[in-house]
Amino acid sequence: MARVCLERVARKFESTTAVEEISFEIPDGEFWVLVGPSGCGKSTILRMIAGLDAPTTGNLYIGDRLVNQVPARQRDVAMVFQNYALYPHMTVAENLGFGLQMRQADAATIQAQVQSVAKSLDIAHLLQRKPKQLSGGQQQRVALGRAIARSPQVFLLDEPLSNLDAQLRDETRAELKQLHQRIGITTIYVTHDQMEAMTLADKIVVLSRGQIQQIGSPQQIYNQPVNRMVACFLGHPPMNLLQAVYDAGSFYIQGQRLPCPARLIPLLNSAQGHSFDLGIRPEYLQVISSSEPDQTTATLETIAQLVEPLGRENMLRVVLPNSDQILNLTTKTEIYPQIGDRLTLGFDLNALLVFDASTGAIVR
């Protein structure tokens, strides 16, 4: 096991800058997840750590060793891709032991290691099968097992679950988490799936256009996003955004007034007439009866546009009157408005996030 450290690492491909100068240090044994929209540079970062690609500038360390010039096979990292290429002519056992065999481990060591890894991934009963006799999920577990069997210092995973169907994906994700808790290898995991990021990570790195937007625990990223991009990337259904204009201690949204949270008023002294995006997570919104406005600090008048029953709850889409500004929220199943019904939504003003409309930076 080893720490992984990037010091001002950048990667350019002719005119494209895939990764701007980025720096972070992953402590030994932690599970970090790189997330961000397509093309933000996640895979390039992983490939540079693996040694499959070289930084244009900057230093990359695994443990205390500077590895910029160290070839991939000498870095002691194992990588699992979305397309787990197992060797089709080999059995599962041979696939699992292949890395050790390449390193000239003796037969007894290989056998012991293969048995142990197969047991931990629940594939011991499949050892004599060939890959084509396995389901997609089983093949993916063998690919993970093949990487683990080598006992690498660092484990690199690039969208390893994206070929699996939803249920298998959930199961394998849980297994991966337990596996990491047991073996504790430093792991870097690339995904664009925010659910995987939230559930697996010790720390999440949110990337956009080759730049780090924020590094933090899942809770920090979710509750204290530094900007609109981070706030909207994590969370399902995503954070609601309303366009508003600030004036004298209040926000105005299509003629409706929302008081500005008191903590922000001193910060907005010079922002009279400026545009802001107001962020509110769906779980903070409630349908209230308009006769009880005191129970919440802020209210918005809306019109029901769509109701989707999900069994345990309903997903509700509403629109602000005379506008195209939409809000999504979840409600108890007994709240089932007719399309076009007027609904008052209430929420705690402390849950409101305020972003500068032009830069996306959070005001706090």
Alpha-carbon gap, residue 160 to 46, rounded angstroms: 13
What string of H, E and C letters represents the secondary structure of 155-179? EEEECCCCCCCHHHHHHHHHHHHHH
Q: Which stretch binds ligand ATP (CB under 6 A): 36-44, 139-147, 161-169, 259-267?
A: 36-44
Nearest approach, Cβ of 60 to ligand ATP (angstroms)?
15
* Shorter beta-carbon distance to ligand ATP: residue 36 or 216: 36
Nearest approach, Cβ of 196 to ligand ATP (angstroms)?
13
Q: At what angle do helices 92-102 and 107-120 cross, to 10 degrees?
A: 130
Nearest approach, Cβ of 170 to ligand ATP (angstroms)?
21
Q: Could you say which residues in the range 144-173 bind ligand ATP, by CB under 6 A?
A: none
Q: How far apart are the first and last CA of the chain?
A: 39
Nearest approach, Cβ of 36 to ligand ATP (angstroms)?
6
Q: Give residues with Cβ within 8 angstroms of 282, minimum separation 6.
A: 235, 237, 239, 240, 327, 328, 329, 330
Per DSSP, what are the bridge partners of residue 278? Answer: 242, 354
Sign, CA torsion 205/206/209/211: negative
Q: Which stretch binds ligand ATP (CB under 6 A): 34-42, 54-62, 212-220, 250-258?
A: 34-42
Asked whether 137 and 164 are in contact (CB, 8 A), the reply is yes
Binding string, 180-219, against ligand ATP, x = CB under 6 A?
------------x---------------------------
Decide if residue 282 touches ligand ATP (CB under 6 A).
no
Alpha-carbon gap, residue 220 to 214, rounded angstroms: 10
Binding string, 2-31, against ligand ATP, x = CB under 6 A?
-----------x--x-x-------------
Nearest approach, Cβ of 53 to ligand ATP (angstroms)?
8
Tokens of 99: 């890395």
Q: Give residues with Cβ within 8 angstroms of 167, minimum separation 6.
A: none
Number of residues that bind ligand ATP (CB under 6 A): 12
Nearest approach, Cβ of 77 to ligand ATP (angstroms)?
17
Asked whether 146 and 90 are in contact (CB, 8 A), the reply is no
Decide if residue 35 touches ligand ATP (CB under 6 A).
no
Binding string, 41-80, against ligand ATP, x = CB under 6 A?
xxxx------------------------------------
Sign, CA torsion 262/268/273/278: negative
* Shorter beta-carbon distance to ligand ATP: residue 52 or 127: 52
Candidates 4, 40, 320, 329: give the one binding ligand ATP (CB under 6 A). Answer: 40
Q: Is 127 helix (H, G, I), strand (E, B) or coil?
A: coil
Nearest approach, Cβ of 246 to ligand ATP (angstroms)?
35
In the complex, the residues that contact ligand ATP under the rule CB under 6 A are 13, 16, 18, 36, 38-44, 192
